[in-house]
Structure 1
Amino acid sequence: MNKTIVQTRFDNLVSSGLWPVLKELGYRRQGNNFRQYFFAEGWGRILNVQKSAFNASDRVQFTLNAGLYLLAAERVNNWGRVSAEQFLEPDCLIRKRIGRLNGTQQDTWYELTPTTPPGVVEQQVLADVQHYVLPYLQRVQSGPELLAQVVRERDPNNADGIRAAFVGGLRQQALAWLNEEIAATIYQYKKAELLRLQAQLLAEEL
């Protein structure tokens, strides 16, 4: 089935707009995913171009997802399963959409239609990747830096982040973070979950 002009514009945006920029930085492409993986340290970066599930032949909406992946974190948070060099954005310990990276704090989607002026969306996407996504991804240069960011930003602010920090060697920081969460929560079910996590960490039953 032949692609429409709009669908072809999207493909060209990914292939001719984003891919050359990311390829030069050492990323590898798999469909709409651009990934770097560092085997020796077991961590990586990814940019995912996510198309809307509600697209039509004459309208393509999409957004940008950035992720920072750590193999040890995936293993401890997913019952031993690891994706390693095949990781995708949902497998990442840290996940950010463009709306969080550009400061708007809104769920930002780009749109291509038959009336979209040539080059406008393409230029905006490339600018957003260069000004927001890549600086965010590239500032992390190692697995330990990734974990330090998790602890510093408290993101992800849940058991996954705490477990990852603990198994990554930041034990005191992880336990202090966990104690803060236990003291702050007003929900009994959440406190019970956090106390169970605390017992697991102290007993090293991970």
Structure 2
Amino acid sequence: MRQQPLRMTTDLTATFNELVKDILWPAFKRLGYKKSGNNFRYYDAAGWGKIVQFQKASYNSAAELSFTINIGLYLLDYDYYLCGETSGQTFREPACVVRKRIGKLIGSKQDEWFELTELSNKELLFKQLDGYFTQHIHPYLATVQGKEAIYAILLAGHCADFPSVQIHMLFRAGYQEAALQMLRSEFAQSKSNKYYRATLRNLATELGLPAALWATEES
């Protein structure tokens, strides 16, 4: 006889909170993370951090609750050049220089969203998420133990959501060659976007870069 899925409580938010607080949070607490709402945040006074964010879908209802998981790596310097100020130990995932969805980390070709309904098999979902964290998220975050590890990811080719901000940060942090290479690449890829090119020109001027080093990419 086919086994019927276990019936969940009608309070889907309570089930979601149970997953976050009781199933996944304890391992992060042991690693020194702080919990704030649906965020697990680690911040180091040297100006870097890591975060796991549980993002609920905007279309959720009493009968369905969908969510995904975002993972971010934070640099205080990137936050400063992005916003003109820093949030430090209260930083949020959108301010991170490296941002990944769980689908990317587990090797999926698309975003992974998880759905809770009254008929969902809670135990199976909890086991699936616990496995994803054990096999993918914890190992990924464990490789990042300082600012240098995050800069290494950027220098290896990662492009942040705001490349011009990344260029600015890299240059000020002493990675001038990498910043210049990225500036040239952004110019080459933005021939049809005159406004973005103006932003890049202004940045190059602010950084004191000789026009001869980057102007050739405008042709």
Write the distance in 2 (CA, Å) between the matches of 1:5 and 1:195.
53
Following the alignment from structure 1 to structure 2, what is the Cα–Cα distance between the partners of residues 76 and 128? Answer: 33
Question: Hey, what's the Cα distance between the residues in 1 that align with 2:198 and 2:155?
Answer: 22
Q: Counterpart amino acid of 2:73?
A: L
Match of residue 52, structure 1, among 53, 57, 81: 57
Question: 1:46, 1:146 → 2: CA distance?
Answer: 13
How far is the alpha carbon of 1:170 from its aligned partner? 1.1
Matched AA of 1:22: F
Q: Deviations over 1:12-69 (max 9, x none)?
A: 1011111111112221111110011001x11100001111121112211110000111
Q: Please, what is the CA RMSD of the aligned residues?
A: 1.8
Measured in 2, the distance between the counterparts of 1:144 and 1:167 equals: 15
- Greater Rg over alpha carbons, structure: 2
Matched residue, 1:17 = 23
Give aligned-pair identity as a percent. 35
Q: Distance in 1 between matches of 2:138 and 2:29?
A: 12
Q: Which residue of 1 aligns with 2:215?
A: none
Instruction: Identify if the C-alpha distance between structure 1 residues 4 and 115 changes in structure 2 by more than 3 Å, giving closer, same or farther.
Output: closer
In the comparison of the two structures, how many residue pairs are matched?
Answer: 199
5+ long unaligned stretches in structure 2:
1-8, 210-219
- Whether the aligned pair in 1 keeps the contact of 2:34 and 2:41 (CA below 8 Å) is yes
Distance (Å, rounded) in 2 between the aligned partners of 1:54 and 1:183? 39
Q: Deviations over 1:87-143 (max 9, x none)?
A: 111121111111222221312110111111131111111212222222222212111
Q: Pick from 117, 129, 143 the counterpart of residue 147 of structure 2.
A: 143
Superposition deviation, residue 85 in structure 1? 0.4
Match of 2:113 among 91, 109, 126: 109
Residue 202 of structure 1 aligns to a residue whose secondary structure is coil
Which TM-score applies when normalising by structure 1?
0.89
Q: TM-score scaled by structure 2? A: 0.84
SS in 2 for 1:111: strand
Q: Is 1:27 equivalent to 2:33 in the alignment? A: yes
Aligned to 1:98: 102
1:56-135 alignment runs, 5 A limit = 56-79=61-84, 81-135=85-139
Structure 1: runs of 5+ lacking an equivalent: none
Which amino acid is 2:36 matched to?
Q
Runs (4 or more) in structure 1 with deviation over 4 Å come to none
Tell me the equivalent position of 2:198.
192
User: Does structure 1 retain, via aligned residues, the 8 Å contact 2:10–2:118?
Assistant: no
